[in-house]
Amino acid sequence: MTETAAVGEKKSIASAITVHEGRVLLVRRRVKEGSLSWQFPGGEIEEGESATEAAVRETREETGLEVKDVSVLGERVHPNTGRTMIYVACQVVGGTATVVDDDELAELAWSDGTQLTDYVPYPFYGPVQEFLDGNLSS
């Protein structure tokens, strides 16, 4: 698995799929064009960092929530961005999720299975959807 990009290539992105008490953590990200988009916490994998380390770090930096990685759910090239995405299942180990990085995030939410399509109206990458189906309250 390639977790860092060669010189000139865009770095891979690690996303933290954090389910706690039957709900998944979503962040409403401010994208460069000014619109807002609901996503999982995450960001670029930095030099010398694994995807799991990046997912844990990004969750802490964006939301203040302390998580630990449980497993890598899968990896793909995102069909809209062309960036390599690595999805990491994470478990809460401490803290309370709040918007810490308010330059990057507008808000956050914990969503159960019945609310999820209100936030993200399109299907998730297969292994992520399977993980959510098995772990979210409905």
Domain 13-110: CATH superfamily, name plus number: Nucleoside Triphosphate Pyrophosphohydrolase (3.90.79.10)
Residue 124: count of CB within 10 angstroms of its CB: 18
Q: Which two tokens stand for residue 51?
A: 């995807």
Ramachandran angles phi, psi of 130, nearest 5°: -60, -40
**Does pTM surpass 0.85?**
yes
Question: What pLDDT is stored for residue 34 in this prediction?
Answer: 61
Ramachandran angles phi, psi of 54, nearest 5°: -65, -40
What is the residue whose two structure tokens read 């990085």?
101
User: For 90-121, how does the pLDDT look when each residue is reduced to its tens digit (9 = 90+)?
Assistant: 999 999 999 998 888 999 999 999 999 999 98
Please report, for the chain, the start and end positions of each structural domain, with discontinuous segments joined by +: 13-110
User: For 58-94, how does the pLDDT look when each residue is reduced to its tens digit (9 = 90+)?
Assistant: 999 999 999 999 999 999 998 888 999 999 999 999 9
Contact 86, 71 (CB under 8 A): no
User: For 5-48, how does the pLDDT look when each residue is reduced to its tens digit (9 = 90+)?
Assistant: 445 578 999 999 999 999 999 999 887 656 668 999 999 999 99
